Amino acid sequence: MAEALLPGLLRARTDRHLSVAGTTTSHADLLAAAAVVADSLAGRRRVAVLATPTMSTVLAVTGALLAGVEVVPVPPDSGAAELRHILSDATPDAWLGAAPDDTSLPALEIDETARASYTPVQVDPERIAFVLYTSGTTGLPKGVLLSRRALTAGLDGLIDAWAWTSDDVLVHGLPLFHVHGLVLGVLGPLRIGGSLVHVGRGTPEAYAGAKGTMYFAVPTIWSRLAESPDHARELTGARLLVSGSAALPVPVFERLKELTGHEVAERYGMSETLITVATRADGVRRAGWVGVPVAGVETRLRDEHGADVPHDGESVGRLEVRGATLFDGYLNRAEATAETFTDDGWFVTGDVAVIDADGAHRIVGRESVDLIKSAGYRIGAGEIESTLLGHPAVAECAVIGAPDPDLGQKIVAFVVARTPVSAADLTSYVGEELSAHKRPREIVFVDALPRNEMGKVQKKRL
Ligand code: MLC
Ligand code: AMP
């Protein structure tokens, strides 16, 4: 069996292109360049890739996948603490391509001009492709182990749902260290053999300027497009507009319909499960609903006692999923992995939802207030709280996600200061330790945090 993950790329077409932040290459050329990278990785087990939105990242990831080497995509703006954690937890052999300053890990340089013919390598489908770091409610981010089997099943489910073909030109401007931008947004086109335009930064101008058949974005980008009518109208000629990573507000769906003539197709997923539920290209589109399970995935709703909740379109339950798209667990975290599965083997998403009699899903919210979704990024309140507590001026703090029309939720930190400190100092401290999107947008200084008799902070009162 030859390489089974990216058969579209192996067709090496010269009339299918990837364009990333202004650099364009054909599939044939990317394959030849990635073959050199793959050859250079003999004997390697796992590499870290500083996942800037560039062709270098696409080349590094593609080369490693062709070689069957695991990739740890690292957010390019990772702060000191976040970087230390990812590297010590994942223990990659080396950086592949660019490395951050002051790293002790060796860096394997990539010669982007080198070309070789690709020699098929047989890779076990159960082999891990990515270790993707994602936030939990507490503690440090966990490495989600995604196998090639899961990626294949996840992409094939979407290819089927969206009638995605090699004639499609996908446009997006999403980061390349999460499922949305990396798996759907880069491996999708490489699996189907279609074209990609990655616009670099996901602005309305950039989306409007790229001519594609399919557009992927998070709700923040869709909402900015809805407020920029001239740019939104440029998407009228597309085949499919897709939203995911967070809830698309109904007014944004309605406004985009007026401006583009398209009803945005929403889909739902997680780092741990890939995309499990999607609105089909030929299916019903309903504002606020995210579609039906993709091929190979089953879903169910349970109440707090583990009893089934009816699929009647109204009853709310905890959403559980199972199927071929699921992760293989969290790296080095057997206990945390076990906690996310029910005794009978279903993954507990932490989201609450309703399902109707036709199998359509509506995501109602999340069970925990400690998982924040801001601009499509999943952010753990606990990680930001621990970081803030590391600042000498912070005596106590509590972090919440406050509703925000642009970001969905914005990070707000309530801080009891020990000594005088400015909000700007605390914000930049979080940016230096973690990453830019984990910085609080607002710091509220308070004299004390509301606590219950047990001493636990009552976040609902903040
Ligand atoms: C941000 N800024 C701040 C700040 N936070 N400044 C001060 N204090 C803070 N706390 C700055 C930024 O650095 C930036 O500055 C400016 O404010 C605007 O920031 P922004 O509003 O965040 O906008 P932007 O940079 O344009 O980014 C918006 C975005 C981006 C939507 C394009 O957030 C994004 O790409 N999100 C996608 C996340 C994603 O891919 N999630 C998928 C997870 S996978 P400057 O100077 O730079 O302009 C998943 C599975 C699934 O969820 O279902 O898909
Ligand atoms: P992440 O692990 O970053 O992929 O975040 C996964 C979480 O994003 C899910 O558990 C949901 O809470 C949220 N999410 C993803 N897609 C949607 C959607 N279409 N609607 C509502 N929430 C979503």
Residue to mutate (ligand 1; options 134, 155, 176, 178; most atoms within 8 A of CB): 178
Asked if residue 14 lies in contact with residue 198, where contact means CB atoms within 8 angstroms, the answer is: no
Boundary (domain end) residue, out of 338, 367, 396? 367
pTM above 0.85, yes or no: yes
Are residues 296 and 401 located together in one domain of the fold? no
Residue to mutate (ligand 1; options 220, 270, 321, 412; most atoms within 8 A of CB): 220
Read off φ and ψ for residue 237, nearest 5 degrees.
Answer: -80, 0
**Segment 237-281, tens digit of pLDDT:** 999 999 999 999 999 999 999 999 999 999 999 999 999 999 999
pLDDT band at 136 (very low <50, low <70, confident <90, very high): confident
Residue-level pLDDT at 373: 97
Chain CA centroid to CA 283, Å: 24
Token output for 74? 């690292």
**Segment 370-383, tens digit of pLDDT:** 999 999 999 999 99
Residue 213 identity (one-letter amino acid): T
* Cα–Cα distance for residue pair 98/110, rounded to 1 Å: 8
Are residues 138 and 246 located together in one domain of the fold? yes
Are residues 274 and 385 located together in one domain of the fold? no
> How many structural domains comprise the chain?
2
Q: What is the mean pLDDT of residues 434-445?
A: 97
Boundary (domain end) residue, out of 349, 367, 385? 367
Range of the domain at 290: 1-367
CATH number at residue 448: 3.30.300.30
pLDDT band at 1 (very low <50, low <70, confident <90, very high): very low
Are residues 334 and 404 located together in one domain of the fold? no
Token output for 368? 């925990």
Are residues 206 and 354 located together in one domain of the fold? yes
**Segment 281-338, tens digit of pLDDT:** 999 999 999 999 999 999 999 999 999 999 999 999 999 999 999 999 999 999 999 9
- The residue whose CA has the least distance to atom 37 of ligand 1 is 376
Average pLDDT along the chain: 97
Residue to mutate (ligand 2; options 285, 351, 374; most atoms within 8 A of CB): 351
Are residues 305 and 355 located together in one domain of the fold? yes
* Cα–Cα distance for residue pair 196/6, rounded to 1 Å: 14
Are residues 301 and 428 located together in one domain of the fold? no
Are residues 319 and 178 located together in one domain of the fold? yes
Are residues 343 and 445 located together in one domain of the fold? no
Boundary (domain end) residue, out of 367, 390, 409? 367
Are residues 407 and 361 located together in one domain of the fold? no
Token output for 377? 């990024």
For helices 381-389 and 423-433, angle between their N-to-C axes, nearest 10 degrees: 110
Burial group, residue 289, by CB count within 10 angstroms (0-12, 13-18, 19+): buried
Q: Measured in angstroms, how far is the CA atom of residue 245 from the centroid of ligand 2?
A: 4
CATH number at residue 309: 3.40.50.12780
Are residues 392 and 342 located together in one domain of the fold? no
Provide DSSP, 262-321. Answer: -PPEEEEEETTTEEEEE--TTS---TT--BEEPTTEEEEEE-TTS-B---SSS--EEEEE
Asked if residue 311 lies in contact with residue 302, where contact means CB atoms within 8 angstroms, the answer is: no
Q: Is 218 in the pocket of ligand 1 (CB under 6 A)?
A: yes
Q: What is the mean pLDDT of residues 224-245?
A: 98
Are residues 281 and 394 located together in one domain of the fold? no
Q: Measured in angstroms, how far is the CA atom of residue 447 from the centroid of ligand 2?
A: 34
Ligand nearest to the CA of 141: 2
